[in-house]
Structure 1
Amino acid sequence: MLAVHFDKPGGPENLYIKEVPKPSPGEGEVLLKVAASALNRGDLLQRQGKYPPPPGASSILGLEASGHVSELGPGCQGHWKIGDPVMALLPGGGQAQYVTVPEGLLMNIPKGLTLHQAAAIPEVWLTAFQLLHLLGDVQAGDTVLIHAGASAVGTAAIQLTRMAGAIPLVTAGSKHKLQMAEKLGAAAGFNYKEQDFSEATLKFTKGAGVNLILDCIGGSYWEKNVNCLALDGRWILYGLMGEEDVSGPLFSKLLSKRGSLITSLLRNRDKKYKQMLVKTFTEQILPHFSKERPQPLLPVVDRVYPVSEIQAAHEYMEANRNVGKIVVDLPQ
């Protein structure tokens, strides 16, 4: 089969398409014939040598994919049949023509969605759902500050926050991105390049601050985050797109707010946790993607690249130009 490959860590120019052995499904696994796979920040970090796959996972890039069930491994207990259209959460391997998936990490594709849209759901929507509900305990009436509001996780988090009856606020770096976030339901957006988002957030909340912060930036935002955090607020760190280091009285300021700092990654969670997450998401959220719903959830796809243009796809994401997902199309 064909797969995205790189021989040494580095820039997008190191990526190329290589013929590699097709995997075989093991106990309780399904072989997925991949139609599309979405690009994630984790793919860029892995290519740079900064984010290795978990032990036992494929070294091929790709944390989510859509396609059709091609083969059932021994011991499969689920309801999947050969030919079923599905989408999958993966620890790696999605940017190839075939990938093996534990049957419990597959999801049906909501009616009316394309395979490209489906590929844009698993990793980011499960991440946003986990951050808001399992870790952040979001409640109706809460105010939620979502950094990188026009990113894939950001666009999902805005919609899930609204669905929970909470109020989403976002940061982004351009007028276009803020407009997109507001179209998706953000109550307000702040351009971090032009204003202090912390002060703008406090003004919006009349000094109360936000109950929950979803932060993929890290060190460079810590002081502003704590400044606009409400008493007993939850600050969830799930990425380090900004600085990794912190300089200053973080703990004393966080303590004065009685704030909680929670960190999370999804890729290196164990299979049992991921299966629980997929099951819960499938039951509680997946039906809301149906276009028959009054206000259906929408996976936002920015661009679709053929896998032969994988270098350009990485360059586009590294330049922070995308609003929502970048999807990679695999040859059939």
Structure 2
Amino acid sequence: MSEMRAIEITEAGGPEVLKLCTRPVPEPKAGQVVIKVAYAGVNRPDALQRAGSYAPPPGASDLPGLECSGEVAAVGAGVDWPKVGDKVCALLPGGGYAEYVATPAAHCLPVPQGMGMKEAACLPETFYTVWSNVFMRGGLQAGERFLIHGGSSGIGTTAIQLANHFGARVFATAGSAEKCQACLDLGAERAINYREEDFVKVMKDEGGANLILDMVGGDYIPRNVACMANDARMVHIAFLNGPKAELNFAVVMAKRLTITGSTLRPQSDLAKARIADELREKVWPLLDAGKVAPVMDSEFALEKAADAHARMEGSTHIGKIVLKI
């Protein structure tokens, strides 16, 4: 098979610019595998790329899609694992919205025991992001007060479960009673409906947040700082309300705060491989045992990618959206 179906971005714009196309099946380079894709996860960076504000890194596919599940179809030179026929889920540099995709072998992880391909496709982007930012960068410890904004998102539902499992006290913001209940069901101690309550007051009454995972930015940044405890950390992973804010850094200094953040896609292959190694050791046993699982929202056919993006950008979803390839 030399040709495959894929979804391409025909121009920068809304969901309607996503169109079905035909592309050559990729060949694995040294250190890579080619996966026959079963499902591809849909994530906000895909929408940013579609809109023209998040270009693929040099050498990556121009097709959207940063995670998938499937069966290994071919392996490049120097690859010991996975082998042809193995079922894997993988973090991708791009290209997931297609029947086949190439990615570094070191960014693959086994499909957890008892988990279907649909659920497995939702693991890589989200679990890599949460583990690297909350635990590796943010240093979350048992007993700490952890505030997650966007608690009902794919990132949020994953962060709640992992933080709860590792002994943190979890607080989450969400925009409806249904979304707040979903956060509580996953293990949040308190779910804050940001349309009705002030998360700053809630966290101050609890003694302040020790760690905040923020994907909102904008006017949330000074409010986050206001509700942080001494020696607290804030990790930014997105800016749905914009990346700019006016901030009094005297408060940052007085409280000895750490403000950091990261993006996943531009990091080196080695950095991503190190995250994969930690996930395999510390998180995959929880998935194998069914103690943690992705929260699923909806499934769309590959050719309905535009509808999947519209669903995600409507912000009514709870958990992950996938494309069935």
Per the normalisation by structure 2, the TM-score is 0.97
In the TM superposition, what whole-angstrom CA distance separates every residue of 1:111-156 from its partner, at most 9, and x where no partner exists?
A: 1111000000000011111111110111111010000000001000
For residues 138-177 of structure 1, the aligned pairs below 5 Å read 138-177=140-179
- Partner Cα separation in structure 1 for residue 82 and residue 244 of structure 2: 46
- Partner Cα separation in structure 2 for residue 2 and residue 156 of structure 1: 31
Counterpart amino acid of residue 301 in structure 2: P
Say what the alpha-carbon RMSD is for the aligned residues.
1.0
User: 2:64 aligned to 61, 65, 69, which one?
Assistant: 61
- Report the 3-state secondary structure (helix = DSSP H, G, I; strand = E; otherwise coil) of the residue aligned with 1:125: helix
- Partner Cα separation in structure 1 for residue 14 and residue 110 of structure 2: 35
Counterpart amino acid of residue 115 in structure 1: M
Question: What residue ranges of structure 2 are gaps of 5+ in the alignment?
Answer: none
- Report the 3-state secondary structure (helix = DSSP H, G, I; strand = E; otherwise coil) of the residue aligned with 1:37: strand
Aligned to 2:12: 9
Aligned to 1:318: 313
Do structure 1's residue 199 and structure 2's residue 187 form an aligned pair? Answer: no
Counterpart amino acid of residue 228 in structure 1: C
In the TM superposition, what whole-angstrom CA distance separates every residue of 1:61-114 from its partner, at most 9, and x where no partner exists?
A: 0010000000111221x2322111100011211111001111111100011111
- Report the 3-state secondary structure (helix = DSSP H, G, I; strand = E; otherwise coil) of the residue aligned with 2:179: helix
Do structure 1's residue 21 and structure 2's residue 24 form an aligned pair? Answer: yes
- Report the 3-state secondary structure (helix = DSSP H, G, I; strand = E; otherwise coil) of the residue aligned with 1:20: strand
Deviation at 1:290?
2.0
C-alpha contact (below 8 Å) 1:34/1:94 kept by paired residues: yes
- Report the 3-state secondary structure (helix = DSSP H, G, I; strand = E; otherwise coil) of the residue aligned with 2:84: coil
Counterpart amino acid of residue 317 in structure 1: M
C-alpha contact (below 8 Å) 2:66/2:96 kept by paired residues: yes
C-alpha contact (below 8 Å) 1:151/1:324 kept by paired residues: yes
Do structure 1's residue 275 and structure 2's residue 270 form an aligned pair? Answer: no
Aligned to 1:98: 100
User: 1:49 aligned to 49, 52, 60, which one?
Assistant: 52
In the TM superposition, what whole-angstrom CA distance separates every residue of 1:236-264 from its partner, at most 9, and x where no partner exists?
A: 111111122212x4312222211100111
Aligned to 1:38: 41
Deviation at 1:163?
1.5
C-alpha contact (below 8 Å) 1:222/1:250 kept by paired residues: no
For residues 219-234 of structure 1, the aligned pairs below 5 Å read 219-234=218-233
User: 1:265 aligned to 263, 266, 278, which one?
Assistant: 263
- Partner Cα separation in structure 2 for residue 19 and residue 236 of structure 1: 39
- Partner Cα separation in structure 2 for residue 307 and residue 321 of structure 1: 21
Counterpart amino acid of residue 318 in structure 1: E
- Report the 3-state secondary structure (helix = DSSP H, G, I; strand = E; otherwise coil) of the residue aligned with 2:24: coil
- Partner Cα separation in structure 1 for residue 254 and residue 174 of structure 2: 28
- Partner Cα separation in structure 2 for residue 238 and residue 192 of structure 1: 19
Paired residues in the alignment total 322
- Report the 3-state secondary structure (helix = DSSP H, G, I; strand = E; otherwise coil) of the residue aligned with 2:241: coil
Counterpart amino acid of residue 244 in structure 1: P
Question: What residue ranges of structure 1 are gaps of 5+ in the alignment?
Answer: none
- Partner Cα separation in structure 1 for residue 284 and residue 90 of structure 2: 13
Counterpart amino acid of residue 327 in structure 1: V
Moved beyond 3 Å, runs of 4+: none
In the TM superposition, what whole-angstrom CA distance separates every residue of 1:173-209 from its partner, at most 9, and x where no partner exists?
A: 0111110010000000111111211112222x1xx20
Per the normalisation by structure 1, the TM-score is 0.95
